[in-house]
Every structure is written in structure tokens, then in C-alpha cells.
Amino acid sequence: MADTINQATRKGFLVDTSRCIGCRSCQVACKQWNKLPADKTSNKGTFENPRDLTSALFNRIKFIENETSGAVSWLFLNERCMQCGDAGCMKVCPSPGALYRTRDGIVAYNKEKCISCKYCVSACPFNIPRYDTNDKVSKCNLCQSRIEGGIAPACAKACPTGSLKFGKRSELIAKATAAKKALYGENNLNGLGVVYALEGSPEKYGLPSSPSIPMSIFLWKDVIKPLGILGFWGSIGAMLLHYVTIGPKKVDDEETGKGDGHE
Amino acid sequence: MSSKYIERFSTSERVLHWIVTASFFTLLLSGLGLYSRLFNGYFNLFGGGQNAILVHKIGGIIFFLSSIYMYFNHQKDVSTFDQDDKEWVDKRGGYLSREASHFNIGKYNPGQKLFALYVAAATTILGVTGIFIWLPALFPRWIVQISLLTHGLMFVGSIMFVIVHVYLATIGNPGTIDAMLYGDVKRGWAKKHHPKWYKETTGENT
């Protein structure tokens, strides 16, 4: 079940944060297309709303407030599943077909095959998967049905400034590189499906500067798992080898007989 | 006194061991599909992955309680090592040679003691990490991540130890399995493998 991805035909987003005006059309369009209910939210003295992704909120605009000499400025970040080329969630998912790679390179999911183990939550470098009220995984799948039908995801369609651009990933990257944009996610994790042109360091946006699958997850799946299987068969082999080379410790009849009286 | 057999494990000790055994193999079968997608077929034994997880949780509780209880039942016997044990360890219990070997061993040899101590430690660690994996939303992310890794590691150690345990208790040492099945072992077996225990139990010299 190796996760293979065709970099040449892969589709994705280029998110140009300099064009984002924080209007949240993407949030609304996503809710509408995916028929997601509204989440209860609360006023915490910021324009950011809601404050976190939920099982009914697949993308949102993160408002990063910066105060410099009394004036407030914002950075906006469209937060969503990054569609990693090497996806931690897919690496750990024990249920084949619950999380899977589409021909467009998207990490899609099938709730009916989700077994509610929540391993994907632990393996995601970006803290994206959420579990719904039925205890099934939910996240952005780039409007899988729309892109398979040849149209852009709802959020990209709704974006009024062209901050969210959908298309062939390689072409989007080539264009952004030609425009001398500093890109985030071009090569990390075998390339993110959602590549950002940021106005500053990734840390300013709360993104890991070099995202990777957590070390513990790597050790678990790529070291302990294969070594464990080897250890299992090795132990069985060692016992068989012991039996035919050194052999069992038999109790001699002589010893058994000694001291025996009645039954 | 003069029977051919002497009692090694009481009925309650044997029943407890069988509960531990049954829950261990239930955990093994229900957990294999979670260990790797290679073993996805084992989920079918339980009617799907979600049911396997449920069985794994219930089996985990039974295994944890019975295994810990079993350890405390035998704690006195398995957690102390004496000079005779040292000799056994130095000569690897005679298991690496065809030569007949004799060690003045009590109820358990150092290998068995080590196994018991490992199982007690593994039970505790598997139980605690199992809770973190069970309820990942209630604990910090890094604790759950470390737990997934540790749970797998302790399982691997456990299954390897269990293979050795089963081998030594069956074909490796003929006569040993009687202790688990009926509780009584042949006197000759006891004199050969656990002479000090035989002497303490019967008062006879070996």
C-alpha cells in the first residue's frame, strides 16, 4: 500500500497570502458546497472566527494580529489540509481505503471505511484531521467531486481576489516562481498539495518551518513495525533451531522412577 | 505423599493463567490489523476494524487486571535472585549445550523470573499507553505519539518473549505443560528442573 503520487499530473492550490483580504468567502463557499452545518462560536475579541478547524469546518482564515507602535496589521492564512505528497495520515491509517490518494494527488477519505482509531490525528504534521459526531474522520478533500468533474473547488471559485488558485500543481509553482514568490511547501513531505506564497517566515503564520512526519510516527511505522515482524519470525525460527540442534531437556526415566510408590 | 505427581499450581492459579492466556491471544488477534495494514485480514475475525478495536479495549482491560494480579500473586517468588540463580545465568540455564546440567533452582529459574518481570512491566506500560491511544483527545499530542510507538515496541517484546515461553513450556521441556493443564507435575520433572522447590515442598532430598 505504498503511497504513490504522480508529480506531473498532480493538482493543487497556490495560496498567495498577499492577495488575501480575509473576507472568508472560502469558508462560506466550503460550508455551502459540502453541506456543513454552522458551528457555535464565541467572541474572543478578534475578527478570527471560528478559532479552530472543526469536523464541519474544512478551511478557515487564520488572522494573525501584529501590533507595531499602536497600529494593528494582519496576516491572513488559509488553513486546511495540505494534501501532503507523503501523508502522515495515510501512513498510519490501518483501514485500507479510509484515507486514499486520488489520481489528482488529493488525500481523500471514505467515512464508511474509517474505523475511528484516530491515528491520523497523531500523525498529521499540521493538526488537521477532526472527528465528527459519528467518530469519523473529516477534513478538506479539495472538493474531490468537483475536481473530478473538471471544476475548481468551491473555495477557489468563491475567492474574489485570486488568492486561492487551483490548477495543475507544477504549473502553479512555475508561475509563482517566475513571479519571484517565496514558496512554502514546494518540496516538504514530497511536496504539499497546497503551496503557499507567504509574506514572511512560516513561523509568523504558525506553520512549522520544515514540516515532517513526527519522529515517533516514523519510528513506529518504519522501524518498529518491520523489525517486529522480523523479531516474530526470528523467535519462531530460533526456537525451531534450538529444538533440532540442542534439543529438549528430557526428564530421564531413571529420575522419574525414583521415589515412585503408588499412584 | 507417595503419589507420582506433586502439585505445582492450584486450580485458581491455573484459571488465572488461562484468563491471561486467552486475553493475550485475543489482544494479539484484534491488534494485528492495527499493527499493520499487512494484517488487515485479521479484522474479519471480529467483523471489521471498529469491532476489533472494541474487542481490543475490552480484552485490554481483562488482560491488564488479570496479568497485574498474577504478578502480585507471584511477586515474592519472581523478584528475588539468589546465588544458585547466578550460576544458572552464568551457564545460560544449560540451554546452549546438549550436556546434561543441574542447577539448584527454586520454584522459578531466573529465565522465568525475568519473563514474569518483563510481563509485569509490559502490562503496565501497554495499559497506560493504551489509555492514551484510546482517548487521544484528552492528552497532549506528543504523549499519544510516544504511546503509539511504545505500545508497538512493548507488544513486539511481548510476542517474542511469549514464543520463547511457549516453546520452553511445551516441546522444549517435556512435562512442563502439565503444570498449566492439570496443575500437577511428575516428581522426576520437579527434581530435575526445580530441585530446591521440590525439597521445600516435599521435605525430601533430591
pLDDT, residue A72, reads 87
Which of B53, B145, B184, B194 would best serve as a mutation to test chain A binding (most A beta carbons within 10 A)? B145
Distance CA A3, CA A92 (A): 11
pLDDT, residue A2, reads 54
pLDDT in tens, A94-110: 999 999 999 999 999 99
What are the boundaries of each domain within chain A?
11-213, 217-248
Tell me what ipTM this predicted complex has: 0.92
Cell numbers that stand for A222 in this block: 518504519
pLDDT, residue A1, reads 44
Distance CA B149, CA B129 (A): 9
CA distance B203 to chain A (A): 13
Q: Compare CB distances from A251 to B48, B136, B189 and report the shortest one's residue.
A: B189
Residue A89 CB burial class (10 angstroms; 0-12, 13-18, ≥19): buried
Judged by phi (left if over 0) then psi (alpha if -120 to 50, else beta), residue B82 lies in beta
Q: Compare CB distances from B160 to A232, A250, A260 and report the shortest one's residue.
A: A232
Identify all chain B residues contacting A258, using CB atoms and an 8 Å cutoff. Answer: 187-188, 191
Q: How far is the CA of B36 from the CAs of A94, A95, A225, A234, B40, in angstroms?
A: 6, 9, 7, 18, 7
The residues of chain B scoring below 50 in pLDDT are none
Kindly report the CATH number assigned to the domain that includes residue B16.
1.20.950.20
pLDDT, residue A252, reads 74
pLDDT, residue A216, reads 96
Cell numbers that stand for B121 in this block: 512491566
Q: How far is the CA of A139 from the CAs of A58, A98, B35, B37, in angstroms?
A: 5, 12, 24, 22
A165 DSSP assignment: E
Q: Compare CB distances from B173 to A131, A248, A256 and report the shortest one's residue.
A: A248
pLDDT, residue B81, reads 94
Range(s) of the domain holding residue B85:
5-202
pLDDT at A261 over 60: no
Within 13 Å, how many C-alpha atoms sit on residue A249's CB side?
Answer: 24
The H-assigned helical ranges of B41-177 are 49-78, 83-90, 110-134, 141-169
Domain count of the fold of chain B? 1
CA A36 from centre of chain: 20
Cell numbers that stand for B35 in this block: 499493527
pLDDT, residue B162, reads 98
Averaged pLDDT for residues A118-123: 97
Cell numbers that stand for A76 in this block: 491572513
Q: Could you tell me which CATH number the domain at A11-213 has?
A: 3.30.70.20
Tell me the residue type at A233. W
The H-assigned helical ranges of chain A are 25-33, 88-92, 119-123, 144-148, 154-158, 169-178, 215-218, 225-245, 253-257
Q: How far is the CA of B181 from the CAs of B5, B7, B10, B193, in angstroms?
A: 13, 11, 11, 18
